[in-house]
Each structure stands twice: as C-alpha cells, then as structure tokens.
Amino acid sequence: ILPTLGGQTGLNMAMELSAAGILDECNVEVLGTDLTAIKKAEDREAFRDLMNELGEPVPESDIIHNLDEAYTLVERIGYPVIV
C-alpha cells in the first residue's frame, strides 16, 4: 500500500488499517513513508516537538479545544493566527 498517494484520506485509512491490525493480518507492506513518520507528521504536537528538537523554526502554537482557549492563546501570542 502506498498511503501518501491518496492524500489525507489515504493517510487516514492507512493509519486506521494499521491500528486495527489489518495490515499485519493481511501481510500488507507499506511503501514510501513509513507509518511512524506519517503519525509524527499528522500529530501536530509531536511534529512541533520534533521540529523543536531538530532546531527548526515553527510558529508559536498550541492545541485548542474551545473558544476560551483560543482567546487566551491570542492574548499571549497576538494576531494573526491560523486556526
């Protein structure tokens, strides 16, 4: 399976199939980018942590769950923001 060729849908499906054990059960090999790398890239917090570890610049960010948290973040970092 080549999940990176299917865009976001392909990535999501590959991750779900792997988590459910279906890829292992059917002896399906993942080609291209491995699932560990895809997971790191998809998990925004893990990606940010990796970039910081590598010394790569990333915009100020946080995981937001509601409008109050968003307003608090904006007070801290200012505008513009990307949601």
pLDDT in tens, 13-25: 999 999 999 999 9
Domain parsing of the chain, residue ranges? 3-42
Is the Cβ–Cβ distance between 40 and 50 less than 8 Å? yes
| Cα gap 78→47, rounded to integer Å | 22
Q: Which residue has the tokens 């904006």?
A: 74
The token pair that represents 32 in the structure block: 């291209």
How does the average pLDDT of the chain come out, rounded? 91
pLDDT, tens only, 31-76? 998 898 888 888 888 888 989 999 999 988 888 999 999 999 999 9
| Cα gap 55→1, rounded to integer Å | 32
The answer to whether the Cα torsion of 41, 22, 30, 7 is positive or negative is negative
